[in-house]
């Protein structure tokens, strides 16, 4: 086949990573060849969650052109959904948005639809040790700062039987940790409550997934505090196959700012739910997202956020300096915070995040932990892996308790 070499560049969230992995599979089964550079087709799967993300997309287009001088440039992902004209001005060859994967692949020259049915689960994000599966897409929350509902559209959930089958195939291929991903993961199965023959939700799905033979463990990628049901908490607390880790976005520790953001909770609700989770799962890792410098955020509001984060004792923070999208309500809000102040506040929160992360990790020193082997470091024969509590550890073969085969993706038990 002529001109069948391709390379994919992926930016953004785990959902984008999953979409890229599906595209890789479909191209390879259609007899295309993935290469490191000098491709004939360079595909950029884009993110536009912040203005900074868009700048990264533009830089990635330049990188793709430098690495693949003769390649056609194809753009997909969230960015084209809201800024298509801006991308057209960059002189690319094909633009299709998120959710148009099948349409996208049929636009690629020499695509063979007869090969479409072949799937190789080992190809997901080359050399990845954990299997990411998108079970849900879309969001209808419309937080005032967020562009995602405009790029991903309405809630959509995968069929339970298809999800179970894909995970079985991934486990068979050697993956031991499965990560469930979604734009609004906690609302899995909730878009068609009135029309579905039987009610479905995330907890019900998990009850089916933990029955899969040889499955090591399941991790939830992110979930809103209002969607952490009592049933879900109880299920996590009682089942060893579900990681004791929840990523629950906070965004702000000020009720005033949460209201401006159109977030569906206040601080009391958030704090009470965290208390309920920790009552049943004392060691659980709770990670979060914080936006710094939202319009109207005063120094006192930031101090309130800092103190709330400190009080909750998150195990890890993802701090995002606010950057406005022209097509969101937050763009027109008064009370803009200057960039110097935003970066100063972000630095303070990141420093606190490092302190909290270290304090959480240190609680496990001397304890036995199950770790997914992610990387083999040749120096001193060290290995790097991820615990169920979502922190990375470096260890050597002498620390392994169960003495199983050591290979990427395997779960081993170590003493930290």
- For the chain, the structural domain boundaries read 5-115, 129-243, 368-415
CA dist., res. 202 & res. 217, Å (int): 16
Query: Would the CATH topology of 5-115 be identical to that of 129-243?
Result: no
**pTM of the model as a whole:** 0.86
Instruction: For residue 175, give the nearest of 135, 215, 207 by alpha carbon.
Output: 215
- Which structure tokens are listed for 322? 């606010």
CA dist., res. 375 & res. 392, Å (int): 11
Confidence of residue 403 (pLDDT cuts 50, 70, 90): low
Write the CATH number of the domain with boundaries 5-115. Answer: 3.40.50.12160
pLDDT score for 125: 44
pLDDT at 308 > cutoff 80: yes
CA dihedral 310, 314, 316, 317 (to 10 degrees): -60
pLDDT at 138 > cutoff 50: yes
Instruction: For residue 39, give the nearest of 70, 80, 18 by alpha carbon.
Output: 70
Q: Is 369 helix (H, G, I), strand (E, B) or coil?
A: strand
Mean pLDDT of the chain: 88
Q: Give the list of residues 6+ apart from residue 13 with CB closer than 8 angstroms, or none.
A: 47, 49, 181, 183
pLDDT score for 123: 42
pLDDT score for 248: 98
Q: How many CA atoms lie within 13 A of 54 on its CB side?
A: 19
Sheet containing 5-10: which strands, arranged edge to edge? 33-34, 5-10, 41-46, 72-77, 94-95
CA dist., res. 140 & res. 124, Å (int): 29
Angle at 278 between CA 273 and CA 282, to 5 degrees: 175
pLDDT at 195 > cutoff 60: no
Placement of tokens 């990427």 in the chain: 408
Sheet containing 392-395: which strands, arranged edge to edge? 392-395, 382-387, 368-377, 411-415
Q: Tell me how far CA of residue 381 lies from CA of 117, 129, 331, 395, 397, in angstroms.
A: 41, 18, 51, 9, 8
pLDDT score for 174: 87
pLDDT tens-digit map of 83-133? 888 888 888 888 877 766 666 666 665 544 433 333 344 444 444 688 999
Confidence of residue 396 (pLDDT cuts 50, 70, 90): confident
pLDDT at 314 > cutoff 90: yes
pLDDT tens-digit map of 22-50? 888 878 877 788 888 889 989 999 998 88
User: What DSSP state is assigned to residue 212?
Assistant: S
- 297 contacts 336 by C-beta, under 8 angstroms: no
CATH 3.30.750.210 fits 129-243, yes or no: yes
């Amino acid at each position: 086949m002529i001109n069948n070499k391709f390379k994919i560049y992926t930016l953004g969230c785990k959902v984008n990573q999953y979409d890229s992995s599906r595209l890789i599979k479909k191209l390879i089964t259609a007899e295309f060849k993935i290469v490191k550079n000098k491709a004939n087709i360079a595909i950029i799967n884009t993110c536009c969650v912040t203005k900074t993300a868009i700048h990264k997309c533009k830089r990635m287009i330049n990188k793709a052109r430098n690495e693949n001088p003769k390649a056609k440039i194809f753009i997909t992902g969230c960015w084209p959904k809201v800024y298509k004209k801006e991308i057209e001005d960059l002189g690319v060859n094909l633009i299709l948005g998120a959710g148009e994967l099948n349409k996208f692949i049929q636009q690629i020259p020499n695509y063979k639809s007869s090969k479409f049915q072949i799937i190789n689960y080992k190809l997901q994000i080359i050399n990845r040790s954990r299997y990411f599966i998108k079970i849900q897409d879309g969001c209808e929350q419309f937080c005032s700062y967020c562009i995602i509902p405009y790029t991903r559209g309405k809630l959509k959930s995968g069929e339970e039987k298809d999800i179970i089958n894909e995970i079985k195939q991934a486990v068979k291929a050697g993956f031991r940790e499965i990560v469930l991903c979604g734009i609004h993961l906690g609302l899995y199965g909730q878009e068609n409550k009135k029309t579905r023959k039987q009610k479905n939700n995330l907890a019900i799905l998990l009850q089916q997934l933990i029955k899969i033979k040889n499955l090591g463990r399941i991790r939830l990628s992110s979930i809103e505090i209002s969607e952490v049901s009592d049933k879900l908490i109880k299920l996590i607390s009682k089942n060893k196959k579900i990681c004791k880790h929840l990523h629950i976005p906070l965004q702000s520790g000020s009720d005033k700012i949460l209201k401006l953001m159109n977030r569906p909770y206040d601080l009391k609700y958030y704090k009470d739910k965290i208390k309920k989770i920790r009552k049943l799962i004392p060691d659980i890792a709770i990670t979060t997202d914080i936006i710094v410098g939202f319009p109207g955020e005063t120094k006192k509001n930031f101090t309130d956020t800092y103190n709330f984060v400190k009080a909750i004792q998150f195990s890890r923070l993802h701090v995002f300096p606010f950057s406005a999208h022209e097509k969101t309500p937050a763009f027109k809000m008064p009370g803009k915070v200057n960039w110097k102040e935003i970066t100063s506040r972000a630095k303070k929160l990141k420093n606190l995040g490092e302190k909290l992360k270290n304090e959480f990790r240190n609680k496990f020193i001397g304890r036995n932990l199950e770790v997914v082997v992610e990387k083999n470091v040749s120096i001193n024969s060290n290995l790097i892996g991820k615990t169920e509590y979502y922190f990375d550890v470096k260890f050597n073969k002498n620390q392994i308790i169960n003495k199983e085969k050591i290979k990427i993706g395997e779960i081993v038990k170590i003493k930290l």
